[in-house]
């Protein structure tokens, strides 16, 4: 754990008035311990991470322990539960002995393992903040009962607040992810032409992302009137002359998300297409001018909407973005009524789509670092409407 994360989590611990914090969502577990696994996406594997002034503990299923030991994950303690089918090793190395010692001490179930983890960092009868966002109601009730006599309080909000301001390492990962996404999208722009299908273009984009060492999540590529659908799956619909093409894509690098939206046109744009592109760019520029530490998030939304509506009165946008990091959507929401003040070190996604069902859509998304004096745009690609040759 980097000093920045330790400082932010200590502040969160104080906000929860607790002796320890228990993370239960994949993003919060990763923030505390650095651990993630493909199993969590496929099998909904259960795991916890405990943070306390006396150390961090990772609580996982036994099947996760071999990868933790093999990768030498830098976490203070590991407690596991469940079983792992494996034949004995003839000539164990020190690493295998460490693996076996963790497995030999395994608990019966996740709650028992969490109790043991809290005992490991000497949290006795104190107050424990638990990440309720990762626990359905029945599981929360069961956990409260199993952790008694410790007092359990909700702690998702303090954990999310801890993640708002990014460390230098996190910024590096976010910038690298964004660079990969933009490079992959640039490759798409070089080859897209009338006749190419949405499905083909998604395949090209995702292949380029994988080539560059990042992971993918569902990509949105939509042509013509389909571009107005907020989140369509790609189809065999082919691009035609004079149509808008909307790209809403991204990737994940070392757990950190990038998200990019751009709009292209085959041939010269007509008046409405030009005006929509101008309105979107004006909204983004106004939002950038409004961003600075201490400004309420709603003020950024208001500035963007006012600027966009001067060019397109029918522009809508109750929310024009949010934070980004270990999750695609993080606090703060840049939304109407949001009084959350911006902080230096936050990374925001400004997200301005214009949609008209039956006509199409324009879309622009920029990633921005809040600085002590204003903001710094992390994107390298141009914002304007892309005119395809």
Helix H, strand E, coil C: the string for 78-126 is EEEECCCCCCCCCCCCHHHHHHHHHHHCCECCHHHHHHHHHHHCCCCCC
Query: Alpha-carbon distance 322 to 337, whole Å?
Result: 14
Chain segment 318-341, per-residue pLDDT in tens: 999 999 999 999 999 999 999 999
Single out the residue of 188, 180, 182 nearest to residue 239, CA to CA: 188
Q: What is the mean pLDDT of residues 224-251?
A: 97
Chain segment 85-132, per-residue pLDDT in tens: 776 777 778 888 888 899 999 999 999 999 999 999 999 888 999 999
Please enumerate in sequence order all residues whose Cβ is within 8 A of that of 147, keeping only pairs 6 or more positions apart, or say none. 111, 114, 115, 118, 128, 130
Query: Alpha-carbon distance 127 to 117, whole Å?
Result: 15
For residue 156, the model assigns a pLDDT of 96
CA-to-CA separations, 252 to 174, 215, 249, in angstroms, rounded: 9, 5, 11
Q: Are 354 and 157 in contact (CB under 8 A)?
A: no
What domains, with CATH codes, occur in the chain? 3-163 (3.40.350.10), 168-388 (3.90.230.10)
**Residues, the chain, total?**
389
CA-to-CA separations, 183 to 200, 205, 334, in angstroms, rounded: 17, 9, 27
The beta-strand segments (E) located in 177-293 are: 220-223, 244-253, 256-266
The residue behind tokens 């104080």 is 14
Query: Alpha-carbon distance 262 to 189, whole Å?
Result: 10
The residue behind tokens 């201490």 is 294
Chain segment 17-63, per-residue pLDDT in tens: 999 999 999 999 999 999 998 766 655 668 999 999 999 999 999 99
The residue behind tokens 């903001």 is 375
SS3 279: helix
pTM for the full predicted model: 0.94
């Amino acid at each position: 754990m980097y000093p920045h994360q330790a400082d932010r989590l200590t502040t969160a611990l104080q906000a929860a008035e607790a002796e320890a914090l228990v993370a239960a969502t994949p993003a919060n577990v990763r923030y505390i311990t650095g651990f993630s696994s493909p199993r969590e996406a496929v099998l909904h594997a259960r795991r916890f991470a405990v943070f306390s002034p006396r150390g961090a503990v990772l609580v996982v299923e036994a099947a996760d322990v071999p990868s933790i030991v093999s990768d030498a994950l830098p976490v203070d303690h590991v407690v596991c539960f469940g079983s792992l089918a494996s034949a004995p090793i003839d000539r164990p190395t020190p690493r295998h002995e460490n693996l076996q010692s963790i497995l030999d001490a395994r608990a019966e179930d996740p709650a028992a393992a969490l109790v043991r983890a809290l005992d490991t960092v000497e949290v006795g009868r104190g107050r424990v903040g638990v990440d309720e966002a990762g626990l359905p109601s029945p599981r929360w009730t069961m956990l409260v009962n199993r952790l008694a006599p410790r007092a359990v309080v909700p702690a998702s909000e303090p954990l999310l607040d801890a993640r708002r301001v990014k460390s230098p390492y996190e910024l590096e990962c976010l910038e690298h992810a964004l660079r990969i996404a933009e490079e992959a999208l640039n490759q798409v722009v070089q080859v897209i032409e009338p006749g190419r299908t949405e499905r083909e273009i998604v395949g090209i984009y995702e292949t380029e992302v994988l080539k560059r060492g990042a992971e993918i999540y569902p990509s949105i590529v939509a042509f013509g009137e389909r571009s107005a659908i907020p989140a369509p799956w790609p189809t065999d619909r082919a691009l035609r002359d004079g149509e808008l093409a909307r790209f809403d894509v991204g990737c994940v690098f070392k757990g950190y998300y990038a998200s990019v939206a751009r709009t292209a046109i085959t041939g010269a744009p007509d008046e409405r297409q030009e005006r929509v592109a101008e309105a979107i760019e004006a909204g983004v520029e106004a939002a950038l001018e409004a961003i600075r530490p201490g400004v309420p998030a709603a003020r950024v939304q208001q500035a963007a909407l006012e600027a966009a509506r001067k060019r397109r009165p029918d522009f809508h946008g109750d929310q024009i973005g949010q934070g980004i990091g270990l999750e695609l959507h993080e606090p703060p929401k840049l939304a109407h009524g949001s009084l959350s003040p911006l902080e230096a070190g936050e990374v925001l996604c400004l997200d301005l789509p214009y949609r008209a069902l039956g006509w199409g859509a324009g879309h622009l998304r920029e990633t921005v670092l809040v600085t002590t004096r204003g903001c710094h745009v992390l994107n390298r690609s141009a914002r304007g409407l892309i005119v395809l040759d």
